[in-house]
Amino acid sequence: MKGLFITFEGGEGAGKSTQTRLLHAALSKLGHTVHLTREPGGSPGAEALRELILFSEAPLSQRAQVLAHMAARADHLDSLILPALARGESVICDRFHDSTLVYQGYGLARGATRDLDFIRSVRGLLACEPDLTILLDVPPELGAARVASRGGKTDRYEQEAIAFHQRIAAGFDTLANEEPRRIRRIDASRTPDEVAADILSVVMNYLPS
């Protein structure tokens, strides 16, 4: 039996790392074998690409960013996600295809049809879609304030102006409206415990009893 593939999506400062960790702990406690991973990254090769994609000072064209994220994803799929799912184990992944469509498609390319189609074509070639996507919804201004209060080094995308992050929020909104069965929107402006309880009740409906 194939395992459950759950992805988390959202803008900056939505609380994805906290919530993926809490869900991983809750499912493990219930006796499920679950892998917690992230993108870009999640395998040694993809983590090396992550450094280049997020922190290299060299500019990268929009299409190059799409293909770099997809190259990292291919390695992550081949070395971790697909083998785990094939063994019947579940995978929780912090960001996946929807982030590419939103950041590179709606954010950088401002939703141009040609660019969205390019991303969708490569996505189709990788041929792996999540069973469930949790979209953590926070106003971009609140997300930006959370990132600023966290401190530390900022990546290529966090450095973008607020208008970019508003396009990201609108892009996720568009995807959630297009695919309401797969993408479940959760209000992430509440306390971590409230958000985690909502997520667990959504996920429980997808797990074999």
Which stretches of the chain bind ligand TMP, using CB under 6 A? 39-40, 54, 69, 95, 99-100, 103-104, 155, 157-158
**Pairwise CA distance, residues 202 & 139, whole Å:** 22
Question: What is the smallest separation between the CB atom of 30 and ligand TMP, expressed in angstroms?
Answer: 26
Q: How far is the CB of 65 from ligand TMP (least distance, A)?
A: 7
What's the min distance (Å) between Cβ of 208 and ligand TMP? Answer: 28
Q: Tell how many helices (H) and how many strands (E) occur in the chain.
A: 9, 5
Q: What strands lie across the sheet with 183-187, from one edge to the other? A: 34-38, 90-94, 5-10, 132-137, 183-187
Structure tokens at 151: 């401190």
The residue among 3 and 11 lying less far from ligand TMP, judged by its C-beta, is: 11
Would you say 32 or 128 has its CB closer to ligand TMP? 128
Sequential DSSP letters for 58-90:
S---HHHHHHHHHHHHHHHIIIIIHHHHHTT-E
Q: Among all residues, whose Cβ is closest to ligand TMP?
A: 103
What gap in Å lies between CA 147 and CA 197, rounded to an integer? 23
Q: How far is the CB of 40 from ligand TMP (least distance, A)?
A: 5
Q: 162 or 207: whose CB is closer to ligand TMP? A: 162
Asked if residue 180 has a cis previous peptide bond (ω within 30° of 0), the answer is no
- Between 3 and 40, CB nearer to ligand TMP: 40
Residue number, 37 or 99, with CB nearest to ligand TMP:
99
Look up residue 67 and give its two tokens. Answer: 């293909």
| Closest approach of ligand TMP to the CB of residue 26, in Å | 21
